[in-house]
Every structure is written in structure tokens, then in C-alpha cells.
Structure 1
């Protein structure tokens, strides 16, 4: 069992840290809103710390799951940042979806302090975090990954090293690119079925068994047809992720025409007041 710290207790981090505690790891938590950290301790035990530095002090592994590049820098750097509290030889594991650039920047700073760094963004959403069934894609040195993976297993369905630092974030971009096009296609299919007077449930039961089947189709078709979009991964966050993808695509010379188009469709959803709706809300553009 490891001594761990978890920084960021949002809809993903709260249950992920809970799985660490349930697996028997010693867990110290930090959250920008102290009330959320106290609520976590009341539910799971462990300890809450007032700063990332104090949460990270003495930990073998420090996990973070925050909002964006700037949030990650804030919890890592400065006098109260996690790096200031970590001992040489400890491993920092970042579960945030951020740019590969900030990942490499922070990994270099960590290395200078003797701290190992693994970028480990996740896929599976709130349901995957709560069920301990996340897909975790990691970048970092093999030895560092091998130290982190048995602990990450507390909330992972699969945890795989994809390459050096930054490779985890690049893999997460592949994930978001694939989801963007898939959800738009599913939205068009379901909206078409409704306009054709078909029973959406019957349609999905048939086509999900063939080549059109997907996790999104099986798990989101009913709520999409009903116009309910409260599953957790907000459009605002998806647009943040797609901006990262599109910037990386420009840098790599990789064409992402569908991703760019769907990003604008998500902008429409924001204009409709759906910034906090989940990503399946793309159908709302077609059925309003």
C-alpha cells in the first residue's frame, strides 16, 4: 500500500480518490474549495490539507485531476505547490486533460527536483470514475509508470504506457477526436429516426448489434432522445479539449476537419445555454 495525495476533487477526482482509500492506500486530499475536501474525508477517511504542498508532503505518489493548463501549474508550482512538498524519488501522476506542452514543461521542472512525472489522462467520464472503470493512457519513463500503475489500478479498467512524457496526452487527443465525430453522427442518426417516425429504442436495438454499434449509442441514446443531458462531462470542458486537439493538429500537420466542425457545433450548444450540458447534447441543435 502506498502513501498518496490526490489534488482536485471534482466529479472525477472525488470518486477516484475514494477508490484509492477503498484499496487500502493512505490518502491525503486537497481541493481549492476546502469544504469539498472535508466532505471527502467525512466519507472516506484520510486527511485534508490546506495546500497542495502539505497534501503532497511525504507521499510516494501524488495524483492530480484539475481543470486546465493554468490550474495544473497552480497546484504544481510555487511555494504552496505540490512539487515544493514532494521528496526526490516521488512520482507525480497527472490525470488532467491538458496540452502536451504544459506536460513537458512541468515534467522538466519535476525532473530538476528529482521528481518522476507521468501524464495519465483518463476516459470514461463520471460513471467510469465512480465505477472504477476508467481507461488511463500514460506517458513517462517505463520505471516510473511501473511504480504508478499498481496504484492507478484502483480506478482503472485499463492502464497502459503509450510512450515518453506527453504520449498520454496525445493519446487522449485521439480519444476526444474520435468521440467528437461519433457523437455528432449518433445525434444525426437519432434525430433522423425521430423525424422518420421510428421508435428510437427499436432502431438502436437493431443497429447497435451491427457495424454502427458504439458505447455512446448503447449508453446515451435514451437520454439523447429525451433531451436530458446531465451525465457529467460538460460541453465547456469538451471545447477546452478540442482546442488542444486542433492546436496539436496544426503543429503536426494533421488534418482534423470533422473535429473543427464539431467544435463549432459545440459552440452552438454553448450559445443555447448548454455549456454545462454533457457532450451528448449535440442532438439539441438538430431537434430544437
Structure 2
């Protein structure tokens, strides 16, 4: 592919999710410029994947047709988008901003409005599938934005997509991700209770899962997390601290729209217990440890 035919992309945020996702874009033939708050990580990414690293989001976005972001929270996203060194300051009218961060629908709409004032398209595109999904290019992506902007975004995100859907206008992707996290919270607690019950009852946990995972009780969490839960290994996957951040967004939004989330609120408090045990960076499946005390 000639250099002038390669899509010119910028990727902001090279954590456990963003780093592999940007890598898939580079492997697909795109010219990728990256920015990361910790510059050493950006330089390490360039050494592995090629491309360029820039010291600010604005400089990374200069000349890019599409800018993608995967950072930590609402404040992090505002920081990489706004201000004289933010990505929006470096983007040309007609550009497209794709946000993979899990944030509030409120900040999404706020930033999308600012992008629109600058003639920039905006798609909120939070992902599900965890670090493994990012590394294997098998993420589920929930999107909000105009049909035109979504069509452009879908083509760009293809290298790391398992399934991608537009759920509605800007903010809809974040609302869908909230529903995703609500479902996961209940599933992980139920799986924790089932495995802890099996242990107390003297059952072989692996044999149990082999049977029940093939029936109505089966889930992704059961298949992919039961062994590490049984072995007490939690130094992988999606951290409790990040899950509590996401659940706080879910619970705040539920209050705004009048939705009832009794199980989610309870599991959020269970995760607070895990944090108090020193498990803020443990995988979310560490909920089982509360039941083993």
C-alpha cells in the first residue's frame, strides 16, 4: 500500500486495551501516530509497531483523518480532547473522533457538541471483551453517533472487531456499555456464589462447571474465569477499581432516568469490600474471595 493511500490515524491512550487496539490498526496498514500520558509506553509501542509518538494529543492529531481514544475516565477524556494541547485543537474540519473509553453519557454529549462546533464527527464506541479481546482483535463494540459518522468509524475499527453495532445517536454507546456492566456485575456475583457453594459442599468445581456450563447456567464468565477463580488467581483481566468506576456511572444514570438497579447496587458494595481487602487491582472475578473468608 502506497504511503498516500494509507489511512492516517491517531490513537490516544496505550493501556492494556488501547495498546493492542492501536497495534491492530498498524498491522492493517494504517499510518498510526500515538500519544500516551506516560511517554515511555508510547515509545515502546512505536518500537514494536512502527509509526510515530507525539508528546501531546494535539500533535498526534495533526494531519489525522480519524483520531481514536481509549483512556481512563471522564476527566482523562476531557484532558485529551480539550484545551490548546487537546486533540480537537489539532483536528481539521471533516475529521472523525472515535472514543473507546467507558465514560458517562453526559461527558460524551458534551464533547460531541464541542466537536460538532469544530466540524468534527464524533462516535462513542465503548468496548467489551477485556484485555484478551483487545489482544486477539475480538471486541464487541457498542456505538452512538450519526449514521454517516458510524459508517466511517465501523470501517476503521474492523481490525479489532468481533461485532459492532450502532445503538442510536451520540451517547447510546455509553448507555449500552452501562447495560453490559450491569449484566456482568450480577453474573460474576452469581458465579462466585455457585463456586463457593460447591467448595463448601465438597464438589469438584471444575467437574461442576464442565456440566453446568453446557446448560442454562453457562456464560462467558463461567467458561473464561472459573479456573482462575478456583485457583485464587486474580492478577489479570478487568480491575475492580475500574469496575467500580463503571458501576458508579451506571448507578448515577439509573437515578437520573428512574431505573431500578438493586442487584447492581449490592454488587458495587461487594466490590467495595474487595477494595478494602487490598484488591483494587485484582480481576473482577475476585468477588469470590469475600465468600471464602
TM-score (norm 1): 0.99
267, 270, 282: which one pairs with 2:275? Answer: 270
Task: Name stretches of at least 5 consecutive residues in structure 1 with no aligned partner.
Answer: none
Instruction: Give the Cα–Cα distance (whole angstroms) in 2 for the partners of residues 21 and 209 of structure 1.
Output: 38
Q: Which residue of 2 aligns with 1:235?
A: 240
Per-residue deviation at 1:107? 0.3
- What is the SS of the residue equivalent to 1:117? strand
**Alpha-carbon distance in structure 1 between the residues aligned to 2:65 and 2:140:** 22
Asked whether 1:133 is paired with 2:142, we answer no
Alignment-derived partner of residue 198 in structure 2 = 193
Aligned equivalents of 1:3, 1:148: Cα separation in 2: 13
Q: Deviations over 1:234-255 (max 9, x none)?
A: 0000000000000000011000
Determine the structure 1 residue equivalent to 2:227. 222
Off by >4 Å, runs of 4+ in structure 1? none
CA–CA separation in structure 2 for the residues paired with 1:58 and 1:117? 17
Q: Which residue of 2 aligns with 1:212?
A: 217
2:16 counterpart of 1:39: no
1:103 aligned to 86, 105, 108, which one?
108
Matched, 1:64 2:73: no
Residue deviations 1:240-277 (CA, integer Å, cap 9, x gap): 00000000000110000000000000000000000000
**Structure 2 residues without counterparts, runs of 5 or longer:** 1-5
- Once the 2 structures are TM-superposed, how far is the Cα of residue 232 of structure 1 from its aligned partner? 2.5
Q: Any residues of structure 2 matched to 1:58-207 within 5 Å, and which?
A: 58-207=63-212
Residue 16 of structure 1 pairs with residue 26 of structure 2: no
Provide TM-score, normalisation by structure 2: 0.98
> How far apart in 2 are the matches of 1:161 and 1:87?
25
Contact 1:11 1:232 in 2 (8 A): no
| Alpha-carbon offset, residue 2 of structure 1 | 1.5
